[in-house]
Structure 1
C-alpha cells in the first residue's frame, strides 16, 4: 500500500516509462460501453450560437456528452508546427452537427500497457485533432418527444472543470476511458471539458530556419490556450460559468498548468488550478538543445536540418514512423540526462518560458490563484521498475545509479536514503534496493521540488495563502492491471489517483472495495468543492462545520426527485483539509501541513518529508546539469576497480 519515499536515479528509458504512467488507465474494461452503445440511452440536442445544432448522446446516467467539438483547424501540411488557428466560422447556426462519436486523437506513439484502454486507436489519429469534449449534468437537460434538450438559459451557471491529460507530452487523448468525465460531471453537478493538444514531435518540435514559418516549439501549450479561449467564449451556452473555470491535470497535464500559470495574457481564462504529480524537478530544454534534437530528428527523417519544406512534405504516417524509430541516443542531451524522460516538452524559448517553472514559482512569478498540489506516495516506483524489472540486491548498482544523478553529492544522498541490502550474502534476504531508489526519485523529482515551488516568499507571507497540499497513499485492490510492473502491485505509483477522481471503476468489470469507494467520494468532493468555492472543504461559511454525510453521493446540490436545492459539501469520512501554511494551534512550530488520503481514512501530516526535502534543498541541486559521457566512464572505471 504505502511505502517509504526515496530518490535515486532515473536514466534512459523514460519514454516507455513515462508513457506507462497513464497506463493505469488500464483500469477500464471494454470500450463497448463508451460510445454508440451509450447512444441507446438517447440523444441530446443543444442549440449553440456560433457553433450549430449539436446532437450529443446521453449516458445511462443521463449525463449529456458532446464529443469532438473543434476549437481550431487542421494542423496538417503547411500548418504543421504552426500555432493553432481559430476554428472555421459557422455560417448556419442551425446546421446539425453530430457530436456523439469519439473524436480524433493527435498523432502519437503510445506504448502504454493495455492500449485498448489507455491509448487511442491508430486509425483514430489525425492532424485534425484539436477538439474537445463537454460533459453536462442531467439536470440541465429536459425530456422532449424523442430526445432530451439542453437547457442552458438559466441564470444560474455551473462551475467548469477543464482537464489536461498527462503522458510525458508523448501520448494521451481526451476520449480514452481513463478520462471519461461522465460520473464526475453528474455526481459533482459541474460541467467538465476534456481537451486535446499536440504531442511529441508534432507538438514540441523546434527548427528555427529564420523564416516566418519557423517551427519554434511549444505548439501543445498554444493548443491548450486556444482550447481555453473556446471555453471562455462558448461554455455559458452549455450552462457553464466562464468566470468559474478550474484547470486540473496530472503529470504532463500538471506541468502544462504550471506553464499556463506563468502567462499573464491568459490570466482571465481560468480562476483555480489542481496540479497532480507535477515533476517540478524535471528540467526543460533551452532553444539550443531543442534545435539540436530537431536537427537529429530531421536527419533521421531523411531531411536536412531546418528544411521544413521537406519535413512538412512527409505524411503523418511517415513522420510517425520516423518519430517512433528515432534512437534514444539521438534524443539524449549529454548535459541533462533527465531530459530523456521527456525528450519533447515545453521549451525555454524566452517567450512562454525564460526559466524552469520551479524557479519561477519560487520567485512568485506565477499567477496568484488558489491551488491544490500533490503527489502519490511512490511517484518514482514505476520509473525505477521500468529500468529494473527484478529486485536489485547490489549496493554497487544502487550507488552507481545514485552517482549518475548526484555526482559529488552521491555520498550525502546515499546516507539520506541508505541501501537496504547487506554487502555480504544479500541473496539470503528479501531486500530490494529499488525501494530506496523509489524514495529518492519521488523526493528529488516530485515532492521536494513541488514543496519548493509552493514555498515562495509571497506565499509564506500569507498564512492563508490558498494552497492545499496532499499525498495520495492507496494502491488498487486489482493490482493485476499493472501487468508486468510488479513493483507497483504493492506501491502507490504515478497516476494511481486518477481512476478514483473520475470514478471509472463503473466502466469496468471491476469494482472499488468499500474503502476505495469512500476514498473516491472524498477525493471528488474535495476537487468539486474547490472548483465551486475555491476551497476543498466547501463554501466559506461551512468549510469546517458541515456535518459528514453517510451518503457516498456526497455533494449533489439538486434533489433529482423534488428538484429542490440543498447543500452537502462533505462525504463520508471527510476531515478538514488545512491550507499549506495554515497555523496549527496545537503545534505552532509546524512549518506546513499536508493531507494524506487513504482508503482507511484521511489524516493530516505536519511537515511531510521535511527532513528529506530540507537536505535536498540545501544541496541546491535540482535541475542541475551533468556530463553524461564522462560520468558513465567514471562509474564504469570504479565498478571495474570494485570501489563501489
Structure 2
C-alpha cells in the first residue's frame, strides 16, 4: 500500500499578449532623461570585496563632452576617473561580445585632474588605457561613463529613503510611473503593488490587477500575514512589517533602456529570473534579504523579480461549496482555494506587461523557486491552459529547487480538514453567506486557525489544477505547460527540515522510534523491513533518519515527477542535479551541522535551503565568511548555469561568453583549454532522458565525470513510495 505523506510544515526557505509600453524613460533626481543606461559592476563572486570594487553608470548614446558632464550631474554623479577604467575591462569586453562596442569605441571619462577637459578613452585599446587618453574637440561624441556612488546594500534593514544617498530612477510603462532607486550593484524597484489589496470583498477571491498609476518603489512592502521567522522583526529578518495588503513584487536590474530601445531594440533586453520564495506555504516573503537581487543581477546580466503571495489560510483555504446540496454547479461565491496560485500568475502577467521597461525580455522569463517555491513552479507547470487562467506564454523555462512534486488535495479533502474550525465561526452552509462571514472576520481569528491546521495545499479546483503532478506529467507535453525544465535537490534535505525533532546522539536502538515519529508507522515498517538502511558506526541512526526523511518529504516525489516526465517527453529538455556543496543560512542550521568551520573542511550535511546563498550570492548581507575559496567559485558556477538556462534553456554556458566576462573559475569547468589537477575539463551537463537518466553531481571543482547514471535514491524511493 502506498503510504500517505505529510506536507512540509517546518520553517522552510522556502496569457495575455505583450502590451505596448509607453515608457522605458529614465529620470534621476527628477531630471527627465531618455537615455539607455547600464550599471556596471565587476562581480567576481568574492562578496567580501563588493564594497571596495567601484561601480559605474554607462550611458550608451554618444554625446558631446558638455552633455556628458551634464548627464553625470543629473545623476548626482561625476565623470568616472580614467584611472578606474581597469576595473571595468571585463565589462567592456562583454559589451564587445554583445556587439554593443568595438575595440576602437571611445567613452567620455575624467582625466582625474579636471572635470572640464574633454578626455575620451577606448577602454579595449591597451595603449590608450595606459596613456592619459585622447583629447577631442567639443564636437566629438561618445558614450558616457559616470561614477556610481550609492553604497552596497549590506544589511537587512537598509533604509533607502534618502534621495541624496540613493538617487531616484523613474520608469514609465503602459501609463504607470515607477519611481525606484539604485545602490552599488543594481537599480532597485521595491514594493511594487501588482494586485489590488486582497482585503474586504477581495479576501478569498482570485487576485485582481493593481490600478495604481504612480508607484513609489523606493522601499519594500510588508510581508503577508504569517507566523514564524517573518512575522514581525523578532529575528531581525522583516523590518517592513506584515499586512493583509501584501501583494508586492520587487525588480532588480542593471539595464534600463530608453523608450526607443524598448520599442525598437528588443534584442538588447535581458532574461528575467522570476523567483518564488519557499516557506511551506505558511511563511516567507520576496523581500527576504536572502533574495536581494543585486549580486545575481550583476553577475548574470539578467533582471531578477521576487514576489509576495498569499500564505496559509489566506492563500489556500478551500471548501467544497455548491449552490445547494443537490447542485453540481459551483457558486460564484464558492471558496475553492488556489488564491496563492492566482497571485503568482497575476505577478507573471505584470511581468509580461511591464518588464521590458525595466530591461527584461518578456519572452525569456524563467520561473524558479525553492521548497514551497518549487511547489509553486510545479503548480504553474501543471496549471490548466485555459482563457480563464491565461498562463500560456508567460514563461519560457523553469527550475524546481527542492520542490518535490507539489502537493494537491480534492475540495472534499480540504473541507474535511478545515470545516471543524470554520463552522463555529461561520456556520452557514450557503456559499454567499459563508463567504461574507469569512471576509468579515478579523485577521487574528483567521490566523489562529493556522495554529491548528498547519498544512496547506493546492486544491484540485477544476480551474487552475485538476490532478496530481506526476499523473499529469505522464500524459505528455499537451497536458502541461511544456518548457525546458531543470530540477534537483540537496542530498540531506531532511536534516534542517527535522530541526531538533531528533537528536544526532540517538542510538541504533532508537531508529524505529525516530522513524515512527518522523514518517509514520507504515513507512517505518517498510524501511526497516527493506534492509536498505543498515545502521553502522559511519551510517548512524541519525544519518539514516535524515536520509529517510529527505526521501519521504521531497526527493522521491521529485524523482518520480522527473522520471515520469522524461518517459512521456512532457518537457522538451530536462536537466537534473544533486548539489554536493551547501552553505547554511545563519539562522537555519540545526545543531550547526549544515556547514563546517572556516578553513576546516570536513564532512557536513548539505541541508534544505543551503543552496539559497549559492543562487543569490547574498552572503555579505548576513555577515557570512567564505569557508574556503571553493565557496566563491561554486556560487559563481551556480549563478552562471542558472542564468545560462534562463537565457537559452541550456545550463551549459557559452564558453565565449565566459571568456568575454572574465569568468575564469566557471570557464575552468567548461573549457578544454585550462588545466587543473583532478578536475574534469570541458565538462558538459547532459540532458536527462529516459534512456540515459544522467544526473549532474554539482560541485567545484567538478570531480571525475561530474555525473551519475540513474536517480541517486531510486531503490530507496520504491520503499518510501510503497512501490515494492
- TM-score range (shorter-chain normalised) is 0.7 to 0.9
Q: Name the SS of the counterpart of 2:365 in structure 1.
A: strand
Instruction: Tell me by how many angstroms 1:621 deviates.
Output: 2.8
Contact 1:33 1:507 (C-alpha < 8 Å) held by counterparts: no
Aligned partners of 2:404, 2:571: CA distance in 1, in Å?
A: 25
Aligned to 2:105: none
Instruction: Tell me by how many angstroms 1:244 deviates.
Output: 0.9
- 1:536 and 2:651 correspond: yes
Instruction: Tell me by how many angstroms 1:58 deviates.
Output: 0.5
- 1:108 and 2:108 correspond: no
- 1:234 and 2:354 correspond: yes
- 1:613 and 2:719 correspond: no
Instruction: Tell me by how many angstroms 1:531 deviates.
Output: 0.7
Aligned partners of 2:587, 2:222: CA distance in 1, in Å?
A: 26
Q: Name the SS of the counterpart of 1:594 in structure 2.
A: strand
Aligned partners of 1:592, 1:304: CA distance in 2, in Å?
A: 53
Query: Which of residues 417, 441, 445 in structure 1 aligns to 2:533?
Result: 417
- 1:49 and 2:174 correspond: yes
What per-residue deviation string (whole Å, max 9, x for no partner) do you get for residues 362-382 of structure 1?
A: 333323211110101111112
Contact 1:69 1:131 (C-alpha < 8 Å) held by counterparts: yes
Instruction: Tell me by how many angstroms 1:154 deviates.
Output: 6.1
Instruction: Tell me by how many angstroms 1:208 deviates.
Output: 4.0
- 1:493 and 2:613 correspond: no
Q: Name the SS of the counterpart of 2:696 in structure 1.
A: strand
- 1:467 and 2:574 correspond: yes
Contact 1:362 1:452 (C-alpha < 8 Å) held by counterparts: no
What per-residue deviation string (whole Å, max 9, x for no partner) do you get for residues 100-129 of structure 1?
A: 0111222112247996668535x6222222
Contact 1:46 1:150 (C-alpha < 8 Å) held by counterparts: no
Q: Name the SS of the counterpart of 2:499 in structure 1.
A: helix
Q: Name the SS of the counterpart of 1:349 in structure 2.
A: coil
Instruction: Tell me by how many angstroms 1:233 deviates.
Output: 1.2
Contact 1:20 1:112 (C-alpha < 8 Å) held by counterparts: no
- 1:450 and 2:566 correspond: no
Q: RMSD of the alignment, in Å?
A: 3.7
Contact 1:76 1:127 (C-alpha < 8 Å) held by counterparts: yes
Specify whether residues 615 and 30 from structure 1 end up closer, same or farther in structure 2 by C-alpha distance, changes over 3 A only.
closer
Aligned to 1:177: 289
Aligned partners of 1:388, 1:166: CA distance in 2, in Å?
A: 23
Q: Name the SS of the counterpart of 1:268 in structure 2.
A: coil
Aligned partners of 2:394, 2:6: CA distance in 1, in Å?
A: 37
Aligned to 2:458: 346
Aligned partners of 1:464, 1:82: CA distance in 2, in Å?
A: 31
Aligned partners of 1:43, 1:134: CA distance in 2, in Å?
A: 14
Query: Which of residues 163, 182, 197 in structure 2 aligns to 1:58?
Result: 182
Query: Which of residues 274, 285, 305 in structure 1 aligns to 2:409?
Result: 285
For the pair shown, which has the larger CA radius of gyration, 1 or 2? 2
Number of aligned residue pairs: 543
Aligned to 2:625: 511
Aligned partners of 1:550, 1:532: CA distance in 2, in Å?
A: 19
Query: Which of residues 44, 64, 70 in structure 1 aligns to 2:193?
Result: 70
Aligned ranges 1:479-490 → 2 under 5 Å: 481-482=587-588, 484-489=590-595, 490=604
Aligned partners of 2:439, 2:547: CA distance in 1, in Å?
A: 44
Specify whether residues 471 and 410 from structure 1 end up closer, same or farther in structure 2 by C-alpha distance, changes over 3 A only.
closer
Aligned to 2:635: 520
Q: Name the SS of the counterpart of 1:275 in structure 2.
A: strand
Q: Name the SS of the counterpart of 1:388 in structure 2.
A: coil
- 1:161 and 2:273 correspond: yes
Aligned partners of 1:39, 1:279: CA distance in 2, in Å?
A: 46
Specify whether residues 447 and 410 from structure 1 end up closer, same or farther in structure 2 by C-alpha distance, changes over 3 A only.
closer
Output the TM-score relative to the length of structure 1. 0.75
Aligned to 1:254: 374
Aligned to 1:383: 497
Aligned partners of 1:464, 1:579: CA distance in 2, in Å?
A: 15
What per-residue deviation string (whole Å, max 9, x for no partner) do you get for residues 330-375 of structure 1?
A: x3xxxxxxxx6xx112112233222221222233332321111010
Q: Name the SS of the counterpart of 2:273 in structure 1.
A: strand
Structure with more of its chain in helix, by fraction: 1
Contact 1:250 1:275 (C-alpha < 8 Å) held by counterparts: yes
Contact 2:643 2:651 (C-alpha < 8 Å) held by counterparts: yes
Specify whether residues 200 and 412 from structure 1 end up closer, same or farther in structure 2 by C-alpha distance, changes over 3 A only.
same
Instruction: Tell me by how many angstroms 1:546 deviates.
Output: 7.0
Query: Which of residues 269, 285, 299 in structure 1 aligns to 2:394?
Result: 269
Structure 1: gaps (5+ residues): 1-7, 23-27, 143-148, 332-339, 422-429, 556-566, 584-589, 625-644
Specify whether residues 113 and 221 from structure 1 end up closer, same or farther in structure 2 by C-alpha distance, changes over 3 A only.
closer
What per-residue deviation string (whole Å, max 9, x for no partner) do you get for residues 484-534 of structure 1?
A: 444434311111001111000122322323110100000000001111111
Aligned partners of 1:39, 1:515: CA distance in 2, in Å?
A: 38
Aligned to 2:155: 30
Output the TM-score relative to the length of structure 2. 0.67
Q: Name the SS of the counterpart of 2:506 in structure 1.
A: coil
What per-residue deviation string (whole Å, max 9, x for no partner) do you get for residues 447-505 of structure 1?
A: 3332221223x6347799511111112233x7764454444343111110011110001
Specify whether residues 185 and 291 from structure 1 end up closer, same or farther in structure 2 by C-alpha distance, changes over 3 A only.
same
Aligned partners of 1:247, 1:80: CA distance in 2, in Å?
A: 26
Instruction: Tell me by how many angstroms 1:30 deviates.
Output: 3.4
Specify whether residues 381 and 75 from structure 1 end up closer, same or farther in structure 2 by C-alpha distance, changes over 3 A only.
same
Structure 2: gaps (5+ residues): 15-152, 323-330, 596-603
Aligned partners of 2:408, 2:281: CA distance in 1, in Å?
A: 12
Instruction: Tell me by how many angstroms 1:186 deviates.
Output: 1.9
Aligned partners of 1:382, 1:232: CA distance in 2, in Å?
A: 36
What per-residue deviation string (whole Å, max 9, x for no partner) do you get for residues 427-457 of structure 1?
A: xxx974121111122223333332221223x
What per-residue deviation string (whole Å, max 9, x for no partner) do you get for residues 577-629 of structure 1?
A: 4333369xxxxxx832112223454652322545x41453377537x9xxxxx
Specify whether residues 463 and 111 from structure 1 end up closer, same or farther in structure 2 by C-alpha distance, changes over 3 A only.
closer
